[in-house]
Amino acid sequence: MRISSKALISILIVLLVALSSTRVLDDYVDDYTTESITNAAITYATARGINALVSMVQSSEVEAGIGVISGSITIGELLDPLNDMIERFSTVMTWVLASLAAQKVLLLLASHELFLYLVEVLGVSTLLLLFYGQPRAQNLFFKTFLVVVFIRFALGLAVTLNSGVDYLFIDQQRQVNDSEIKNFQSDIMSIEAEQEFDTDSIKDSTIAFWKGLSLDELNRKISRGIENFINLVAIYLLKSILFPLGFFYAAVFIIKQLWRTRLNPAAHF
């Protein structure tokens, strides 16, 4: 028994409408984007905290006091490369947070009840026109329905794929580098538990930390800090900006292809 193209298209429309109403992946995608924003915000706050501590040391004009260069330079001057790196990192993280927030807003719009109703209305209208409408109206509504359904699912699928890549290749490195810069901040703010947590205590402990390092130790600390921030820049750019941009261009291409779709209800299989 041959099945008409009209019957297959009708089944496809019903399945897509039903799948849209089940909110598949919506909760997972919302949780993932929220967690990504939280992690990025914590990393940004940690970087700004280190930046404040380094700036405080620089403003104190503490002499390096290390080896033969004692008295010739200040620790603040040695910390300039690290401070510059943190400033650039902060700029990147501002864009990362903006990108993640935009993705969350778009995902919320795609899963909103009004958008779901739009899918249902277009689905029902396309079904009716498929049997009773003119070919021109059939094609217009079917193409519009496919594009809207693609938008409905594409964002969620893109975030899901991104989370898979994140889990397999990126997240572990992000956690390692996040942990490194948090430890770096803790080292700088080495205040005893019984000490009162005030500005003077923080300043004194921070200056004492840097003055207690040898030249080699200081260079290693600064180099390691810069390396961790560079790694985090690469990680966040990949997962939060470059991957979404790649998806955007792929989505535009797919939407163009969907818009070229033409119905042939009279065909049989």
pLDDT tens digits along 103-151: 889 888 888 888 889 999 999 999 998 888 888 888 888 899 999 999 8
Residue 68 pLDDT > 50: no
Query: Three-state DSSP class for 199?
Result: helix
pLDDT at 268: 53
72 or 87, which is more confident? 87
Alpha helices by DSSP H, 111-134: 113-132
Query: What's the pLDDT band for 198 if we cut at 50, 70, 90?
Result: low
- pLDDT tens readout for residues 27-62: 888 888 999 999 999 999 999 988 888 888 777 655
Cβ-based burial of 197 (10 A; exposed 0-12, middle 13-18, buried ≥19) = exposed
Residues 6+ apart with CB under 8 A from 9: 130, 142, 263, 265
pLDDT at 92: 93
Average pLDDT over residues 200-211: 74
State the Cα–Cα distance between residues 49 and 86, nearest whole angstrom: 10
Query: Three-state DSSP class for 4?
Result: strand
The answer to whether the CB of 265 falls within 8 A of the CB of 130 is: yes
Tokens 């390096």, residue located: 64
Residue 71 pLDDT > 50: no
Backbone angles phi, psi at 94, to 5 degrees: -60, -45
Q: How far apart are the first and last CA of the chain?
A: 9
Query: What's the pLDDT band for 97 if we cut at 50, 70, 90?
Result: very high
Name the β-bridge partners of 74: 63
pLDDT at 194: 47
The answer to whether the CB of 197 falls within 8 A of the CB of 191 is: yes
To the nearest whole number, what is the mean pLDDT of the chain?
A: 82
Query: Which of 4-8, 28-32, 100-104 is least confident?
Result: 4-8
pLDDT at 61: 57
State the Cα–Cα distance between residues 155 and 152, nearest whole angstrom: 7
Tokens of 101: 């927030």
pTM of the predicted model as reported, rounded to 2 decimal places: 0.80
How crowded is residue 47: how many other Cβ atoms within 10 Å of its Cβ? 22
Query: What's the pLDDT band for 267 if we cut at 50, 70, 90?
Result: low
The DSSP symbol for 68 reads G
Tokens 């028994």, residue located: 1
Which of the residue ranges 36-50, 148-162, 196-210 has the most confident prediction, judged by mean pLDDT? 36-50
State the Cα–Cα distance between residues 75 and 67, nearest whole angstrom: 13
What burial letters (b/e) apply to 111-120, b meaning 16+ CB within 10 Å? beeebbebbe
- pLDDT tens readout for residues 167-186: 888 888 899 999 999 888 88
pLDDT at 204: 74
